[in-house]
Structures are given as C-alpha cells and as structure tokens.
Amino acid sequence: MRKGRYLLKRFVYIIFVFFIISILMFTIYKSLPGDPVRMMMGDNVKPEVYQQQYDTIRAQLGLDEPLPVQYVKWITNMLTGDFGYSTEYRKPVKNVVGVPMRNTVMLNIFSMLLVFVISIPLGITQAVKKNSVFDKAVQVVTIVGYSVPSFVIALLAIYAFAIKIPLFPISGAKTAGFNGTGMAAALDVAKHMALPVLVMSVSGIGSITRYVRASMIDALRMDYIKTARSKGLKEKVVIYIHAFRNALIPIVTVTTWWLIGLFGGSIVIETIFLWDGLGKMMITGLNQRDFAVVLAMQMFYVILSLVGNVIMDIAYTLVDPRVRLEN
C-alpha cells in the first residue's frame, strides 16, 4: 500500500517535471533561427503567388497562432502520439520515426545486455579475488575503458575490425540492396550491429564493473557473510545469493544513470557508424532545421530519462526492502 502511494506520488511528480521540461523545450524551439515554412516551400514558387502560398502553409502548420495556443496544441498532439509534420521528409513525424526508433532501441538493448553479461560476473570475480593480479589487471582495463571517449574507441574499432581485418562493415544498418528475409536478414543486421554495440559497451563495461566490484567488496565484508560462511553454505551461494543481492542497491542507481546516458551517448555512435537511428535522425533534423523531428526526438530522450527515474525508484523497492519510501 505504502509502495503504491509512493509510486503514485512519484508518478505525479514526474508528470510535473515533464511539463516543465516540455515548456522549456518548446520555448527553445520557438527561438530557433530559420523559417520552416520557407524550407517547406522550396525555391520553385513563383513570386506572384509566393506570399499567398506562404500564408497558407503557415496557417497549415499553425504557426500564425499565439505561442501559448501553439504550445497547448503541440503538447496535446504529442500526448496523442501526433508528433507534427516533418518538413524534411514531408510526412508526419509519426510515420518517419518507426524504423529509427526500432534501430536505436535494438542497438541500446543489445549493448546493455552485453554490458551486464560481461561486467557483473567480472566485477564479482574481481571482488572475490581482491588484490590478485587478475583484479589489478582488470582494474587497469576498466579505468581505460571508461576514460576513453566512445568515438576514439569507434575509430580504433573501425580501423581494426573493418579495415585491417574486414570482419564487419564500416557503417550502415543493413547492406544496400539487400533483400533477404528470415535468418539471412537477421544475420545481415547482426553483422552491421556488431561494431556499434561493441563500441557502446566498452565504457559501460568499464564503469559498471568498477561499481559491481566496489559494492561487492563492501557487501562481502559484512557480518552476515561471515555468518553465512560459518553456517557452512557453499561459497557460490554466499557470493551470488547473500552478497550480490545486497550489493545490488548501488549498482541499480549507477545502472539507471548509465542507461539514460547510454541512449544520449548513442547519438555519437550512430553518427560515426551511420546507424539509421534516432540520434542520427536528430542530427540530420537539426542540420535541416526540421524542428518537428528534433522536437520528437528530444521528447523521446526526456521521456526515457524520466521513465528511467521511475524504474530506478521501482527497482529500489524491489532490491532493498529497507528503503523507506515515504522519504
């Protein structure tokens, strides 16, 4: 019951934050230079009908109304899933974002999985074998991993695995003119995704491993671990059930922050690998002054970050029953 009320409170608060941010964003976008109407009209309009046509399109886009009205209209549309009209693609944004969103989510989910699969066992092993050569070596690797910027790793990866040893394609989301279905298509996508996923995971692996190690060491020092061991429990049980569950709390915090950052950070990766995702779309949208698209992308990132915060709250209540939710 308490949990439910807490989550409801959080949810209401999150919506409040969402509206503040959306107003902020709307204000920013309205002060954008460049004229979307002129962009949409192109250059092939005769001078005599220019003004008339200009006004028509302006009215069509709803740009002649006062700002608060525009905002209310815009936010209502947003909430009903209508993200406006893309001046670049000449289509509703809704119809354009499908594939990029799928690509981005796919990219992020796979790298997330890769990070967890590698960093959690690695961090635990490090904590168990604290101060061993293995531990020290991995520590050096992880500090390098999270310090080096992703685009540097991307350049290195392209050089090593796409040019010197041509295992993977340099860029793109699928082979041009490729028409296969089923397994062949999946394989093609997997091949294109390998490098971006690898590059995106490096910094995550670096930082998450460090956090797992630190919180596991803290947990392993606790008295209940001694009790568990003296009970004669198997070491595996002690580590994975008793220690790890308690080590999860700080890991959850860090993981959520990292997740939010991951989607934002994939902008850089998508631009390098020309991955047809939201980040690349946003950059193109900005360069083309296609505000509707940029706005929708931005909304996506904001919602993602807010949802991330909610997930963090829920995850806390799940992993740590002691968390006093009223506070």
Partner 1 sequence: MADKNTKKKREKSTVGKAAQRMVFGGALTEEQEEILTPIQMVFRSFVQDKVAMTGVICFLFIFMCCVVLPFFLPIDMYYQDVTQANVGPGFGMLDVPSGLQKKARQVSLGSTFSVGIDEKGNVYEWGRFPTNKLKKLPADMGSLVQVSAGLDHVVALNDAGEVVTWGNDRMGLASIPLELRMGETVKEVYAGYQISLALTESGRLYNWGNDFLIDIKIPKEVQGNIQKFVANTDIVMALTKDGEVAALTTKTNAYTAIPEQIQGRVVDLALTDESVAAVTEDGQVHVWGNNVKGSRNIKEEVQGHVTAIEGGRFHYVVQLDDGTVQAWGDDTFGQTKVPDIKGKVKDITAGYYGSYIIDESGTVTGWGLKGYLMGTDDFGRDIFRRLLKGGRMTMTVGAIAVIISTIIGVIIGGISGYKGGKIDNILMRLTEIVSSLPFLPFAIILSAIIGNNISETQRIIMIMVILGLLSWPGIARLVRGSVLAEREQEFVTAAKALGIREWGIIFRHILPNIITVIIVNATLDFATCMLTESSLSFIGFGVSEPNATWGNMLNGARSATVIENFWWRWVYPALVLAICTISINCIGDGLRDAIDPKSKER
Residues that bind partner 1 (CB under 8 A): 17, 20-21, 28-29, 31-34, 130, 143-144, 146-152, 155-156, 158-159, 162-163, 170-171, 213-214, 217-218, 260-261, 263-265, 267-268, 271-272, 279, 282-283, 286, 294, 297-298, 301-302, 304-306, 309
Q: Please report how close the Cβ of residue 58 comes to partner 1 at its closest, in angstroms.
A: 21
Rounded distance, CA 198 to CA 196, Å? Answer: 5
**What is the nearest approach in angstroms of partner 1 to the Cβ of residue 100?**
14
Minimum separation from the CB atom of position 183 to partner 1 (A): 28
Q: Which is nearer to partner 1, 45 or 314 (CB)?
A: 314
**C-alpha distances in angstroms, 278 versus 83, 96, 106, 227, 281?**
14, 10, 11, 50, 5
Closer residue to partner 1 (CB): 159 or 178? 159
Rounded CA-CA distance 322/5 in Å is 16
Kindly state the smallest distance separating residue 262's Cβ from partner 1, in Å: 10
In angstroms, what is the minimal distance from the CB of 173 to partner 1? 16
**194 CB burial (10 A radius; 0-12, 13-18, 19+):** middle
How many other C-beta atoms can be found within 10 angstroms of the C-beta atom of residue 143?
Answer: 13
Give whichever of 19 and 50 is closer to partner 1, judged by the CB atom. Answer: 19
**Residue 236, C-beta contacts closer than 8 angstroms, at least 6 positions apart:** none
- Cα separation of 55 and 103, whole Å? 37
Is 145 or 248 the residue whose CB approaches partner 1 more closely?
A: 145
CB of 172 to partner 1, least distance (A): 12
Report, in Å, the least distance between residue 3 CB and partner 1. 20
Which of 89/104 has CB closer to partner 1? 104
> Of all helices (H) and strands (E), which one includes residue 49?
helix 47-60
Identify which of residues 71 and 151 has a Cβ nearer to partner 1 in the complex.
Answer: 151
Give whichever of 53 and 288 is closer to partner 1, judged by the CB atom. Answer: 288
313-327: b (≥16 Cβ within 10 Å) or e = bebbeeeeeeeeeee
Q: Which is nearer to partner 1, 58 or 289 (CB)?
A: 289
Cβ pair 191, 169 in contact under 8 A: yes
- Tell me the closest approach of the beta carbon of residue 181 to partner 1, in angstroms: 29
Distance of alpha carbon 216 from alpha carbon 241, whole angstroms:
12
**Both tokens assigned to 196:** 């971006």
248 and 316 Cβ atoms separated by less than 8 Å: no
DSSP-derived secondary structure letter, 63: T
Alpha-carbon gap, residue 246 to 173, rounded angstroms: 40
Structure-token pair, residue 67: 């700002």
